[in-house]
Copies of this chain bind each other. A is one copy, B any other.
Amino acid sequence: MIQDQLKTRVVGVDINVDATSCAVVDIRGNIIGQSGFVTSNYESIGDFISVLTEHIMQLSEAHGGYENIRSVGISIPSGNFRTGCIENAPNLPWKGVIPLAAMLRDQLGLAVALANNAHAMALGEQAFGAAHGMRDFVVVSLGSGMGSCIFSNGVVHLGADGFAGEVGHTCIKPGGRQCGCGKQGCLETYTAARGVVLTAQEVMSESDEPSKMRQVEQLTPKIIIELCNQGDALAIETFRRTGYTLGIGLANYASIFNPEAFVFTGQISKAGRWLLEPASESFEDHVFHNLRGKVKLVPSSIPDDVRNVLGASVLAWEVKEYSLFK
């Protein structure tokens, strides 16, 4: 069957609690067009899918034509790549297990792949970002929680039940801070957003030193990072402690897994050297001795506003083209 015209574009969709973003992306990761809408406006999954379908179709028509779209990839919290379902997402409006990929495929007549954010992000970093050319690496996201995705021998490691990568819920301090997951001492209670703020409060209470942090009513990691950049000693100490703990967590990860690199994404990673320098020092102190100086800590090289849609576009290529007539 001669086929002169292969489809050379896909749609990447990033669904998160606040916003849903769609992009038409070509084979080389160029964003041809992008649009979005507010996720939480649609409490019924059926309504959401209708709106999403319309967005994808309009965006595609506006950028090269729907007939040129090969498939769709979705990055979504609690997405299960193996089943194409969202499974009990705690922060999304739709409860239970929802076969989103199949439902959207039936609307669009296009193949749809789906995965959680960390997985999609890691595919993006491998195809177009900091992990290009690596076979064994970890992408770590440090935001409101801490998640990760592992690649082993060049392919994603999902684990026996699809839950691999939950480094945020490794126990870094038995009996330590209370985590939302019900356990105590989880790594993310020190290294994700809420944990950083808590550490800042500890730092302030332990010292008399003046700090602009004391004047802020609602501290956020973003503010603390800004204060670091202004030279605020307690803000810097906050990230020094955060980095120290992060360094231990990653050292343990590395001692078990021996990745070539950890690639960082997420708002906390914006702290840059305030976080990475103490993290690196602590990492080298705690990692298996033969790995000292060998594991790279690198920031993502993909801009924030396209990281997830780009990752989702890579995901789109992993699914076979769909046709009613096969």
> Which residues of the partner chain B approach A8 to less than 8 Å between Cβ atoms?
132, 301
Task: Give Cα distance in the complex from A3 to B298, angstroms.
Answer: 5
Complex Cα distance, B155 from A317, in Å, reads: 15
Closest to A134 in B: B160
**Contact call B297/A3, Cβ cutoff below 8 A:** yes
Known: A133-B317, A289-B183. A157 touches B257 (CB 8 A): yes
CB-based contact A161/B256 at 8 Å? no
Q: Does chain B have a CB within 8 A of A143?
A: no
The answer for the CA separation of A273 and B251 in the assembled complex, in Å, is: 31
Residues of B within 8 A of A144 (CB): none
What residues on B are CB-neighbors of A289 within 8 Å?
169, 181-183
Interface residues on A, range: 35 or more
B251 touches A253 (CB 8 A): no
A286 at the binding interface (Cβ < 8 Å):
yes
Using Cβ atoms and an 8 Å threshold, which residues of chain B touch A38? none
Q: Mark A281-299, 1 if CB is under 8 A from B, else 0.
A: 0001110111101111111
A150–chain B nearest beta-carbon distance, Å: 8
Q: Mark A258-286, 1 if CB is under 8 A from B, else 0.
A: 11110000000000010011001000111
The answer to whether A27 and B291 have CB atoms under 8 Å apart is: no
Q: How far is B296's CA from A287's CA once the two chains are assembled, in angstroms?
A: 27
A interface residue numbers (CB < 8 A to B): 1-4, 6, 8, 27-30, 70-71, 128-130, 132-137, 148, 150, 152-153, 155, 157-167, 169-171, 174, 181-183, 248, 251-253, 255-261, 273, 276-277, 280, 284-286, 288-291, 293-299, 301, 317-318, 321
What are the 5 closest A-B residue pairs judged by CB atoms, nearest first?
A: A159-B258, A160-B260, A170-B252, A133-B317, A152-B152
